[in-house]
Amino acid sequence: MSHAMSSLKVVRNYKFRLYPNKEQEARLFDWLETCRWIYNTALAQRKEAWEREKRSVTRIEQQVWLKEAKKTDEPLRAVHSQVAQEVLFRVERAFAAFFRRVKNGETPGYPRFKSKGRYKSLTFTQFGEGKGAYFKDGKLKLSKIGLVKIKLHRRIPGTIKTVIVRRDAVGRWWAILAIEKELAKQQHAGPAVGLDAGLEKFSALSNGSLIENPRYLRKTEERLKHAQRNLSRRKKGSRNREKARRKLAKLHAKVCNQRRDFLHKQSRRLVKTYSLIAVEELNIKGMVKNHHLAKSISDAGWGEFISMLEYKAEEAGTKLVKVNPSGTSQECSGCGMAVPKKLSERIHCCPYCGLILDRDINAARNILKSALASEAA
């Protein structure tokens, strides 16, 4: 059970299906290509200024450039000003992320130019009548695009701040609404639990229960391989190649949707049941570099699962605690002694206290103990 306390404001994204007509879709495609041109030009300006003058170009400078360019460029004038300006913010964020990675000693990855078809979304930064986007007659009014049919399959529980219009690989259009809503802070009265992520099982819980791994990608692998071979045989630029590409994209989308549905349901169930959830602080990016495990790790979707747990725990009044994973599988949860074992050994047998149980459940108990100790400190 959870009991309401004070409230806090949060921003959550809500996704709704859009159904633009042919004319609206053609205009959206034109806008995507124009925004791609703005992005690439702004990126080139920054790159050139640094190479020639060792000088950083600011977003304000580029906004002045964009304003001047609009005077002589008809496609630029056709794009709503909010949408065009937001592209420059994307370039700025790309460079900020690049410099942050350089500073942290990570592999930086210089911002890349967007090739044709690689720019997939448009952002209206203001919502409301007389602004970039608003609701009218049950449809989404996008300035300079028109009234677009939208499937509002769920209630909007707050104030809409921005609207992102996105096209997916299958060719469907979506409206992603950033909604600011007020959360009544909850105090959860349930028990505490430790979770150990696995590959054989999706997760082991410290109370002895296991969550099975549905392995959606593995189950669809043969169909994906067949669709990929079919695509590679088709002539580039042909209609048959586009059909094959869409078929492959639909299969990938189905796997992604199945996995996300599973993760949503499991994370919701856990935050409803437990007042404290302890998980390992996993380095997913580092783990997927192991080519033997990368596919299984990606198929499980641990990173996305932890993200879901984080925001759902906040809403449910559940505390999510991340602990150092070092030694959790090698230590005995009964007596605390080190019991080394190979990855292939699936049962924990302690020679000191005689405890015998699934190694992942043993690890989950250690994760919970570590979280409770850190909370008490």
Is residue 297 pLDDT above 70, yes or no? Answer: no
Is residue 197 pLDDT above 90, yes or no? Answer: no
Is residue 284 pLDDT above 90, yes or no? Answer: no
Q: How many residues would you count in the chain?
A: 377
pLDDT at 317: 87
Q: Is position 182 annotated as part of the catalytic site?
A: no
pLDDT, tens digit, 9 for 90 and up, residues 130-174: 899 999 999 999 999 999 999 999 999 899 999 999 999 899 999
Which CATH class name applies to 192-217+252-376?
A: alpha beta
**How far is the C-alpha of 295 from the C-alpha of 248, rounded, in Å?**
18
Would you call 195 helix, strand, or coil by DSSP?
strand
Residue where the block lists tokens 């450039």: 65
Question: Which of 196, 299, 331, 358 does the annotation list as catalytic?
Answer: 196
**Sign (positive or negative) of CA dihedral 66, 67, 68, 69:** positive
CB atoms within 10 A of CB 290: 10
> Which strands form 2-19's sheet, in the order they lie side by side?
121-124, 159-167, 173-188, 2-19, 146-151, 139-142, 133-136
List where CATH 3.30.420 sits in the chain.
192-217+252-376
Cα–Cα distances in angstroms (integers) from residue 70 to residues 31, 33, 34, 82, in the given order: 14, 15, 12, 13
pLDDT, tens digit, 9 for 90 and up, residues 202-243: 899 999 999 998 888 888 989 999 999 999 999 988 999 989
Q: Which of 61-100 are b and which e, b meaning 16 or more Cβ less than 10 Å from the residue's Cβ?
A: ebeebbeeebeeeeebeebbbbbbbbbbebbbebbeeeee
Mean pLDDT of 27-45: 97
Confidence bin at 36 (pLDDT 50/70/90): very high
What is the helix (H) or strand (E) element at residue 258, kind and residue range? helix 239-273
Determine the residue type at 346: R
- If you average pLDDT over every residue of the chain, what do you get? 90
Is residue 64 pLDDT above 70, yes or no? Answer: yes
Q: Any residues with CB less than 8 A from the CB of 171 and at least 6 apart, and which? A: 246
Confidence bin at 37 (pLDDT 50/70/90): very high
pTM over 0.85: no
Q: Any residues with CB less than 8 A from the CB of 94 and at least 6 apart, and which? A: 43, 111
Residue where the block lists tokens 């990173």: 303
Question: Which of 299, 331, 358, 360 does the annotation list as catalytic?
Answer: 360
Mean pLDDT of 37-62: 94
**How far is the C-alpha of 28 from the C-alpha of 47, rounded, in Å?**
28
**How far is the C-alpha of 114 from the C-alpha of 102, rounded, in Å?**
22
pLDDT at 139: 96
What is the helix (H) or strand (E) element at residue 134, kind and residue range? strand 133-136
Is residue 8 pLDDT above 90, yes or no? Answer: no
pLDDT at 41: 97
Confidence bin at 294 (pLDDT 50/70/90): low
- Tell me the two tokens of residue 232: 């590679």
- Tell me the two tokens of residue 128: 């409301």
Report the C-alpha dihedral over residues 28, 30, 31, 34, rounded to 10 degrees: 160
Q: Is position 280 annotated as part of the catalytic site?
A: yes
pLDDT, tens digit, 9 for 90 and up, residues 318-371: 999 999 988 888 999 999 999 998 888 889 999 999 999 999 999 999 999 999
pLDDT at 289: 63
Output phi, psi for 348, to 5 deg. Answer: -90, 120
pLDDT at 135: 96
Between 317 and 145, the higher pLDDT residue: 145
Percent above pLDDT 70 for the chain: 94
Q: Is position 360 annotated as part of the catalytic site?
A: yes
**How far is the C-alpha of 77 from the C-alpha of 166, rounded, in Å?**
21
pLDDT, tens digit, 9 for 90 and up, residues 173-192: 999 999 999 877 777 788 99
